[in-house]
Structure formats: structure tokens, C-alpha cells
Amino acid sequence: MRRDAEERDRYIDGPLLIAVFGLLAIGGVMVFSASAFHAQKATGDTLFYLKRHLLFSAIGLAAMFVVSKIDYHLLGRLAYPLLLMAAVLLAGVLVFGNKAGGATRWFRLGPVSFQPSELAKLAVVIYLSHSLTRKREKMHSFSFGFLPHVVMCGTLILLVLVEPDLGTAALLALLLFSLLFVAGTKISYLLGAALLALPVLYHQIMSTPWRKARMMVFLDPWADRFGIGYQVTESLIAFGSGGATGVGLGDGRQKLFFLPASHTDFIFSILGEELGFIGAALILLLFGILVYRGLKIAMNAADLFGTYLALGITLTIGFQATANMAVALGLLPTKGLALPFMSYGGSSLVSTLIGIGILLSVAARERPEFARRARKPAGVYV
């Protein structure tokens, strides 16, 4: 017995939404704090980035609401069209895209820009969830369970790779492997593929001077403090100088042009500086709640498709958040990954919130036994 329509409409996963709104709120404040000086210098309007960030948050929340009301099974039918669309856009961005910082990752449409790799993440999750559900009985098979997924996703990954956007490519690959693993692909296939991918990765890093430099910086950021190590060391100084309680909201100094990309990829460093360890731990906790609730939704999903969807979205957000924070703290080499919900950037924000919408849609159609059990503690009827 499934929940009736009325119940479905009124069901909302409380802790998940608290985490999402919490991250969005803190993110908005931090975007303003970190970007005000950049904005003033670039446009004369200290609120420039904040206004746009709030606009995208509103668009994202609206999209999330709409998506959460849609039955996620509809996405199964959209799997291939979405995949095709992502591939076309990724190919298109290479030709028509806007070059920025040596990479072509954006379409510029008037005042807004759109990043197709964000769509690719959702497309890969939806495609894999659909395909793995359909082939659940053949997952042990190489040619049915393994090869098609690797080829399909591999194409997208390659397109992302040549943008170049190694961070997103790696994230997509990680997602592919994770879902294949969960779906029951033979470990030997995964290991084999990983072994085959390693030389490619090595070549990718070593043949590109700046990637190689980033690798060196990762190994010892202080060796070239004011050269290529600048961003990482400034990030560490920002984060570290926050101490346990931070220098105070808005009082951070590293955003005064010391730390590049302080309102986008390195917003976590500014947060660490201004709010200290307490603030950083709060962010980790909120992401923890989000991932935990995502896993719960995946476990309680009405069907396997829902499980894969929820898990894929949760892992995408979880991996990306962890990777972003690890970069800020010098645990991973620098790559261009945004911190979900918090970094300034429209495409990322909207696509992440659409993902949350899908998660909510899955949650609203949980299997009845879980729905009953979850009635009291987790679910909230409004």
C-alpha cells in the first residue's frame, strides 16, 4: 500500500530540508561576505553577487518544489534524451562555449551563463539509475552490465575532460564506479577499469603543465608560496587563522583579494576564517545530515530505480562537497569543484536543488512499511 496522493503532497523530509535550507542560508551570507569587495571593485555594487546568488537560489528552490511534485518514474523515460542532450551540449560548449581561465565550460546567454557539466551530472545519475534497474538481472555480465554504462558515461566524461574540467570528470567517474559497485558489477571489472584508467589519469596530469604544477603544489604548497602555491597557501592561512571560533562574520581579511576565487571554489576557507572550527564543523554536520537522509531515502525507496536515483544524487552532492572542502584544506589537489549550496554559481545551485527535488520525490513515494515507521520521527506533515 502506497501513500495516498494527499499524504504524498503533504509529506516533506524535515531533516533533509533543514540541512538544505541551512546550507543555503549560510552559503548566501558567506557569498555576500566573501564577494562584497570583489563586487565593489568589479561592478561598484557590493551586492552584485549576492543579488544573483539569491535569484538563482529562488529559481533553484522553485525547480526543486516542482520536481519534488513530479513522480520520479517519469525520469526513467527522460534518461536517454537527457543523456543525449548533455552530450550535445558538452560537445557544443567546446565549439560555442565561453572561454574563461583557459577552459571552455560555459554557455553565455546574455546576463546568465550555463554550465553543461552540471546537467551531465544529473543526466548520468538518471541514466545509470534507469539502466541499472533495467539490467539488474544481468549485472554480472560484462557486455550487458558493465560495458554499456562505461561506454555511455565514458563518452560524457571524455567530453568533460577536454573542456578541460578534470574535477567534474573525476566526479562523474567516481559516480559511475560507485553506482556500478552498488548494483553488483564484478569487482574485477571495476578494478580492471580503474587500472586501465590510471595511466590515462597520469598522462592527463603529467602532460598538462598546470595540472602537474597543481600536483606539485599539492605535495608541498609552501615550496612556491607566492607562485603556483599561492592559492592553496592563502586558503590554508585563511582557514587556519579562523581558529576555534573564527575572526567574526564579515571580519575576514583573506577575501581582500588575498585568496582568489574566495566566493566560489574557496568559500569554505572564508567560512573557516570568519566562523572558525565551529562554523566548519556545522557545515560538515549539515552535509552529514543531508547524506544520511539521502541514504535513508535510498534505502526506503519504493523501488530500485528510486534507490539508485536517491543514492546517485546523495553521492554526487556528498563527494563534491567533501572534495571541495578537502581542496580548501590542502588534502586534495586544486580543481574547479564548487561547494554545493554555498559556492556562488547559478548552474551548480539550480542543478543541485533539482537533485534535492528528485530526492524529495523519491522520499514522498517511500515503501509503505518504511512510511509507517517513519511517520513519527522523520516525516513531517504540513
Partner 1 sequence: MKTEDTHSFSWIRIRAILLVAMLFGFGLAVAVKAFELQVMDGAKYDSMARDQYVRSFELPAPRGAIFDRNKHELAISHDVPSVFADPRRIHDAGKTALALARVLRMERGRIERRLKSKKAFVWIARRVGRKEADAVKRLKLGGIGLTMEPRRFYPNGDLAAQVLGFAGVDSVGLEGLEKQFDAVLKGGDQVLRGLRDALGRGALLDAPRPIESLQGMGLVLTIDSAIQNTLEHALSEAVRRSGSKAGTGIVMDPRNGDILAMATEPGFDPNKFSKYSASRRRNRSVTDCFEPGSIFKIYTYAAALDLGVVSPGDIINCENSNYKVSNHIIHDSHPHQNLTVVDAFKVSSNIAAAKIGQKLGPKRLYGYLRKFGFGSKTGISLPGETRGILSPAYRWRPINTATISFGQGVSVSGIQIVSATAAVANNGIRMKPRLVKSLLKPDGSVEKTYPPMSEGRVIRSDTAHELAEIMEKVTGPGGTGRRAAIPGFNVAGKTGTAQKVDPVAGGYSRDKRIGSFVGFVPVEKPRVVVLISMDEPKGVAYGGVVAAPVFAKVAKAALTRLGVRPLYRAAKDGSAKRERPDDLADGTIQDLEGPPPIPKVRVESGKLPDFSGLSMRAVARLAGKMGLEIDLYGTGLAVKQEPMPGTVLKKVGVCKVWFKSLAKRRKGA
Which residues in this chain contact partner 1 in the complex, by CB under 8 A?
A: 37, 136-137, 139-140, 178, 181-184, 226, 236-244, 253-254, 256-258, 272-273, 276-277, 280-281, 284, 287-288, 291-292, 295, 298-299, 304, 307, 311, 314-315, 318-319, 322, 325-326, 329-331
CA dist., res. 184 & res. 137, Å (int): 10
100 three-class SS: strand
Are 297 and 19 in contact, with CB atoms under 8 Å apart? Answer: no
Nearest to 201 by CA among 188, 210, 211, 192: 211
Smallest separation (angstroms) from partner 1 to the CB of 96: 33
Nearer to partner 1, 63 or 217 (CB): 217
Nearer to partner 1, 115 or 307 (CB): 307
Cβ neighbours, 10 Å, residue 120:
28
Cβ partners under 8 Å of residue 202, min gap 6: none
Question: Residue 128 CA to chain centroid, in angstroms?
Answer: 17
Nearer to partner 1, 249 or 380 (CB): 249
Nearer to partner 1, 233 or 347 (CB): 233
Residue 114 CA: distances (Å) to CA of 50, 56, 59, 87, 265? 18, 12, 14, 15, 17
Smallest separation (angstroms) from partner 1 to the CB of 247: 8
Smallest separation (angstroms) from partner 1 to the CB of 137: 7
DSSP 25: H
DSSP 344: S
Nearer to partner 1, 49 or 239 (CB): 239
Smallest separation (angstroms) from partner 1 to the CB of 52: 23
CA dist., res. 152 & res. 184, Å (int): 18
Smallest separation (angstroms) from partner 1 to the CB of 359: 14
Smallest separation (angstroms) from partner 1 to the CB of 304: 7
Nearer to partner 1, 295 or 374 (CB): 295
Nearer to partner 1, 318 or 355 (CB): 318
Nearer to partner 1, 104 or 316 (CB): 316
β-bridge mates for residue 99, sequence order: 104
Angle between helices 209-219 and 187-207 (to 10 degrees): 100
Residue given cell 548552474 in the structure block: 347
CA dist., res. 62 & res. 59, Å (int): 5
Smallest separation (angstroms) from partner 1 to the CB of 33: 15
Smallest separation (angstroms) from partner 1 to the CB of 243: 4
